[in-house]
Amino acid sequence: MNINDDLQARWWKLEEKLMERFEKKPDVESILFLIGIQELGDIKKKFSKEQKQDLMHIAICTVLSPSGFYELSKVDEEGWPHFNQLKPMPEMLPHEQENFLKDHILLYFQNNGGL
């Protein structure tokens, strides 16, 4: 089994857990949205389009922080986290970017008690 097979198997396991919980197969974007909501800690019924984009940004910064790409700089008066980019993202092909992000999402769930 190569490293990509292991990543795919772990990803399918995460998708399965999320399907059990939400009764819908999630894609990478919806998982990032969930992470963003969890990190914000404010579960609203509705978010504006701009807030949804901000939640995705929070999630990406959060999952990439352990690898030293981002660090939390502050939380504003409304409770929204803000990040500083510490180093540029490496050059990758699209499928490599997706696997890189999936691996970091899996690490996030591993470090935060899973589901």
Write the pLDDT tens digit of every residue in 23-79. 898 999 999 999 999 999 877 778 999 999 999 999 999 999 999 999 999 999 989
Confidence of residue 2 (pLDDT cuts 50, 70, 90): low
Q: What is the pTM of this model?
A: 0.87
Model confidence over 73-92: pLDDT tens digits? 999 998 999 999 999 999 99
User: Does residue 8 or residue 1 have the better pLDDT?
Assistant: 8
Give how many domains the chain has, as a whole number.
1
Residue 35 to residues 6, 13, 25, 90, 92, Cα–Cα distance (Å): 22, 17, 16, 23, 23
What is the domain extent for residue 46? Answer: 3-111
